[in-house]
């Protein structure tokens, strides 16, 4: 009987339903008397077209709330990953592998005899897009040219590797060292002595990396 009454009202009146204390209350209002705002001019009234939840859906929602199933699932996932092999390293005490193509701190290399490799051709200075390299050279008594000044402003360097690719004798190389942060800007202005010292320090690793990459250069 109530369902038939509601259907008759829906066909003749504007029906809006509001939820009060879990019960649906039906309010009828004519558009001519109250406009389009709902019952008695209530602007917060709305037309409820949602499908009522089933008993199973209501019980499932209450079970998730009362039994904290989401938290239990999250804790179970945390405990599962806790015993899995770790994927992180304890830097700086542990360090991962570096690619042979890694471009780090610059070095100037020597030959096995101790002679400097650099022939002062200035190709690296010319190709540097950041203009970070400054070279002065002079001719020796035997007619060969060697640098008297080789400076690199590491604050300008973009580590593109162009200097290394342009060098015909593999004198200037970007080595494997990535840990050369400083506290002052002046410490990042490398001179020839600093670059040669870096080369002596990292020569073994650099020679190995160049050998690996020789097939692709």
29-46: per-residue pLDDT in tens? 444 444 444 445 555 555
Contact 133, 164 (CB under 8 A): no
**Is 73 part of any domain?**
yes
Q: Structurally, how many domains does the chain consist of?
A: 2
**Is 100 part of any domain?**
no
**Is 101 part of any domain?**
no
Domain that holds residue 56: 2-81
Neighbours of 163 (CB within 10 A): 23
| 92 upstream amide cis, omega within 30 of 0 | yes
174-205: per-residue pLDDT in tens? 999 999 999 999 999 999 999 999 999 999 99
Whether residue 110 sits in one domain with residue 77: no
Whether residue 35 sits in one domain with residue 71: yes
**Is 95 part of any domain?**
no
Q: Which pTM value belongs to this model?
A: 0.62
Token representation of residue 40: 């008695």
Return the DSSP state at 212: H
């Amino acid at each position: 009987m109530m369902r038939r009454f509601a259907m008759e009202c829906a066909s003749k009146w504007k029906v809006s339903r509001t939820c009060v204390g879990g019960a649906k209350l039906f309010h009828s209002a004519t558009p001519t008397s109250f406009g389009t705002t709902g019952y008695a001019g209530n602007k917060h009234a709305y037309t409820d077209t949602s499908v009522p939840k089933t008993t199973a859906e209501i019980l499932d929602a209450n079970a998730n709330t009362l039994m904290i199933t989401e938290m239990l699932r999250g804790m179970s996932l945390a405990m599962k990953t806790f015993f899995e092999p770790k994927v992180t390293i304890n830097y700086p005490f542990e360090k991962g592998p570096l690619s042979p193509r890694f471009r780090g701190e610059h070095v100037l290399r020597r030959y096995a005899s101790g002679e400097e490799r650099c022939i002062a051709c200035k190709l690296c200075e010319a190709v540097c897009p950041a203009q970070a390299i400054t070279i002065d050279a002079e001719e020796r008594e035997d007619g060969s040219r060697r640098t008297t000044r080789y400076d690199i402003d590491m604050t300008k360097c973009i580590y593109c590797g162009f200097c290394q690719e342009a060098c015909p004798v593999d004198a200037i190389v970007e080595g494997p060292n990535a840990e050369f942060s400083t506290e002052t800007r002046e410490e990042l202005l490398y001179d020839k002595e600093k670059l040669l010292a870096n080369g002596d320090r990292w020569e073994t690793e650099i020679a190995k990396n160049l050998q690996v990459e020789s097939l692709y250069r």
